[in-house]
Amino acid sequence: MQRFVRAVSAVLLAPALLLGAAAIGRPPGTWGAYTSASEIKIGAVLPLTGPFVASGTYFKQGYTMAIDEVNKAGGLDVGGQKYMISLTILDDGSDATRSRSLVEKLVTDQHVNFLLGGYDTSLIEAQEVVPDQYKIPYVEGGGAASEIFKRGYKYVFGTLASIYNMGKFTMGFIAAQQAAGKLPKPISIALVWENTDHGKDYETAVLEEAQADPGAFKVVLNQAFQLNGSDFSPLLQQVKAANAQAFLSDAHLPDFITMHRQYLQAGLYHQFISYGGRGPDQKGRQALGPGADYLVAAVWWTPALKDPASQLFAQKYTQQYHQVPDWFQALSYDTARVLLLAIREANSLKGPVVRDRLSKLVMRNSLLPGGVIRFAPDGQIVAPYVMVQNTPGNTVRIIWPQKLPESRDPILPLPHAQ
Amino acid sequence: MFSAENLISVGIAALLTAGLYAIMSYGLAIIYGVMKVINLSNAGFLMLGAFLALVYFQRWHLDPVLGAFVNLPIFFAAGWIVHRLLVRRVVTALPIASLLLLFGLWLVLQNLALAVWGGEDQSIITAYTYKALPVLGFRIPVTRLIVFGVALVVLSILHFALGHTYLGKALRATVQDPVAGLLVGIDTEQINAMAFGLGTAFAGFAGGLLTLLFSFNPDFGGTFQLKSFTIIVLGGLENLAGVTVGAAILAFAESYAVLFMRASLQNVIAYALLVVALIVMPGGVAQLLSRRRT
């Protein structure tokens, strides 16, 4: 019996010891050294099943588009040598634990040189412990909570402006509409937010603005809700009881769809409604139909932007995937492009060198409003938002900032038929 | 903080939710009552019911309520087949065997839906999806009213059938004492198959109705499953009439508790009630009432 146990132990331990020996013998930052001489391996773990499947699929499309473009042009020039890019994408099923272990698997089994991020904040927070451990640069465009960048990781970079800034931007927009006489001053606000760092960022920003200007804003309800909730009816009863003039909710796409559907079914009405960055998403509009009309959202990108780069991207995306892109696809496309640019400018495939390049990088042909991507010392981008409003007929228009030539007057207060 | 109007409004919403909870828990209760099997695949059939209602709606513009009725015979047949092919073989084994089997079946159904419809959220929007009826100054969502009304009618028919037909009486007798049922000539094997079919039919029916209220994807049903467990434990595991009481307790507890606590803790109420019921009144409300009488 003892002999059997020893034999089994030997069989189980041998691969682990071999792997451990290989790991000990390998200095950090060289995990991609197994790659072939003319190929750069990039890995990403995305939610291709589970609650975030729609967003995960969009990110896959954006990453693929950016990398295909480089490969079709003959590869990426690094130090005078052309490298083809291979992209390995694994599915975490929208599960944080699986997400983290799959990112590690990409590094240790697939020997990727660089990492692209997953989607949403909770999954990014699970993934982001891996890059620093192996000194592999990681650029993400799917997590916007500022908490992601407060943990001191040096290899994590994000192309989404923070949710905190989104909250501030939304409150700034409301203040401007108060000044224009389109919304009452002071305005009472029912605030609900998902119980994650994403939601807390939004809550903090709204409360700070309300405290800073009590003559303009009065938060009469402040409630957190469970991410991926199935029934928001009791919460909406509270919203109804609060009798507010504005309804602000920070929610991800599946929760936005469920909550707004139940909001409309309950016959609620507010003069101003915003679900943070949700509303103009094609999936949301399909799921809610005319119920999504007139919603206002602060987004990182919209196909309504008329700059040439955005129009070209929207055109190429529509040709390839036969649908109109949302910010998900644009941000993931730019996220992959910013990583590739950093590799090219670093003239190296070494993780620490590319990481240093990313920290100083200025990408000037970005799709984002303003056209520039550069990272703050904590790794998160500093970039502006645009405020958009859904209009009937599945159209979206930019309503803020006014300085944008494509900006139109918002329809506020929201029509009662909403 | 809350006016009487608010509290009444919450009460109405809770009552309507109770109808929804009852209809989605009945299948689970029937199967457990007759076979003592916890049907973990209930959520999978609920989800499939929603997707089939979507198919009827997209292909033939069939209203989801009619779709739910169309689901009844289809899912009854599916349940019957699942019983004959799978469940029958493990029903006398240790409970873990049926638990694992039906959990596996749930995963198979989820992956089947994933392969056929993809993982994205789907929804059905009808002409009355966003309509509300003004009743005595309160706005009542038409969809909730329909779900409640249909649930009430279907459950009334079921109660009548259970009390006045041979099959219904045989089913109730098997719930009370399967051995005695066998001794008086009831074909318990057939009753088991019928119970599993009926339970599955209710899951498919509830799934079709839920499309009026929620968007859905292959993961749909998991949260409702937990609530259904709580409801049948509250009602008394082998007490079919208790399901309605359990559904009402959970719906009212959730709706009113959220007025005074963080909404993010909404699901905790179901867990807490489940724990309390298992410890304090494992026989549910029915046992509590019978204790008082004695």
1.20.1250.20, 3.40.50.2300, 3.30.70.580, 3.40.50.720: which CATH number matches A164-299+386-400? 3.40.50.2300
CA distance B79 to chain A (A): 26
Tokens of B178: 């399967």
Best mutation target, B6, B21, B121, to test chain A (most A CBs within 10 A): B121
Q: What b/e sequence results for B173-203 when a residue is b if at least 16 CB atoms lie within 10 Å of its CB, and e otherwise?
A: bbbeebeebeeeebebeebbbbbbbbbbbbb
Phi, then psi, of A69 in degrees rounded to 5: -60, -45
Could B123 and A288 be called an inter-chain contact, meaning their C-beta atoms sit closer than 8 Å? Answer: yes
Upper half-sphere CA count for residue B113 (Cβ side, 13 Å): 29
* DSSP for residue A290: G
Chain A residue with the nearest C-alpha to that of B255: A234
Q: Could you read off the pLDDT of B19-56 as tens digits, one per residue? A: 989 988 999 999 988 888 999 999 999 999 999 999 99
Phi, then psi, of A193 in degrees rounded to 5: -150, 145
Residue type, A233: S
- Which among A234, A241, A287 has the least Cβ separation from residue B121? A287
Upper half-sphere CA count for residue B277 (Cβ side, 13 Å): 24
Q: Could you read off the pLDDT of B198-207 as tens digits, one per residue? A: 999 999 999 9
Phi, then psi, of A138 in degrees rounded to 5: -135, 115
| Residue B207: closest CA among B113, B107, B95, B83 | B113
- Which among B10, B144, B214 has the least Cβ separation from residue A237? B10
- Which among B2, B114, B213 has the least Cβ separation from residue A241? B2
Residues belonging to chain A with any Cβ–Cβ distance to chain B shorter than 8 Å: 48-51, 53-54, 57, 192, 195, 223-226, 229-235, 237-238, 240-241, 253-254, 257-258, 261-262, 264-267, 283, 286-289, 291
Q: One digit per residue, pLDDT tens: chain A, 418 residues?
A: 444 444 444 444 444 444 444 444 444 444 444 455 689 999 999 999 888 888 999 999 999 999 999 999 999 999 999 999 999 999 999 999 999 999 999 999 999 999 999 999 999 999 999 999 999 999 999 999 999 999 999 999 999 999 999 999 999 999 999 999 999 999 999 999 999 999 999 999 999 999 999 999 999 999 999 887 878 888 998 898 899 999 999 998 889 999 999 999 888 999 999 999 999 998 899 889 999 999 999 999 999 999 999 999 999 999 999 999 999 999 999 999 999 999 999 999 999 999 999 999 999 999 999 899 999 999 999 899 999 999 999 899 999 999 998 999 999 999 975 4
Examine residue A413 and say whether the peptide bond preceding it is cis (omega within 30 degrees of 0). yes
- Domain spans in chain A, listed from the N-terminal domain onward: 39-161+308-360, 164-299+386-400
Best mutation target, B125, B130, B146, B252, to test chain A (most A CBs within 10 A): B130
In angstroms, the CA A415 to CA A413 distance is: 6
Chain B residue with the nearest C-alpha to that of A265: B130
| Residue A134: closest CA among A92, A89, A104 | A104
Chain A residue with the nearest C-alpha to that of B260: A238
CA distance B228 to chain A (A): 14
- Angle between helices B42-60 and B95-117 in degrees, nearest 10: 20
Element (H, E) at A238: helix A233-242
* Vertex A404: Cα angle to A313 and A379 (nearest 5): 65
| Residue A248: closest CA among A228, A283, A212, A273 | A273
Class of residue A192 by CB neighbours under 10 A (exposed 0-12, middle 13-18, buried 19+): buried
Could A283 and B13 be called an inter-chain contact, meaning their C-beta atoms sit closer than 8 Å? Answer: no
Check if the beta carbon of residue B204 is closer than 8 Å to that of residue B71.
Answer: yes
At a CB cut-off of 8 Å and minimum separation 6, what does B162 contact?
A: B168, B169, B171, B172, B240
Could B119 and A49 be called an inter-chain contact, meaning their C-beta atoms sit closer than 8 Å? Answer: yes
Could A54 and B121 be called an inter-chain contact, meaning their C-beta atoms sit closer than 8 Å? Answer: yes
Q: What residues of A are in contact with residue B10 (Cβ under 8 Å)?
A: 234, 237
In angstroms, the CA A98 to CA A116 distance is: 16
* DSSP for residue A363: B
Q: How many whole angstroms from its chain centre is CA B38?
A: 13
Residue with tokens 């400018």: A345
Specify the fold of A39-161+308-360.
Answer: Rossmann fold (3.40.50)
Alpha helices of chain B — where are they, by DSSP H? Answer: 4-35, 42-60, 64-82, 88-90, 95-117, 142-164, 166-176, 178-183, 188-210, 222-235, 242-260, 266-280, 284-293
Q: Could you read off the pLDDT of B107-129 as tens digits, one per residue? A: 999 999 988 998 888 899 999 99
**Count of CB atoms within 10 A of residue A178's CB?**
18
Could B266 and A229 be called an inter-chain contact, meaning their C-beta atoms sit closer than 8 Å? Answer: yes
Could A265 and B121 be called an inter-chain contact, meaning their C-beta atoms sit closer than 8 Å? Answer: no
Q: What is the pTM of this model?
A: 0.83
Check if the beta carbon of residue A126 is closer than 8 Å to that of residue A150.
Answer: no
Question: Strand A296-299 relative to strand A386-391: parallel, antiparallel, unpaired?
Answer: antiparallel
Residue type, A250: D
CA distance A274 to chain B (A): 19
Number of A to B CB contacts under 8 A, please give it: 123
Residue with tokens 């139940």: A262
Residue with tokens 């649908």: A323
Q: Tell me the ipTM for this assembly.
A: 0.80
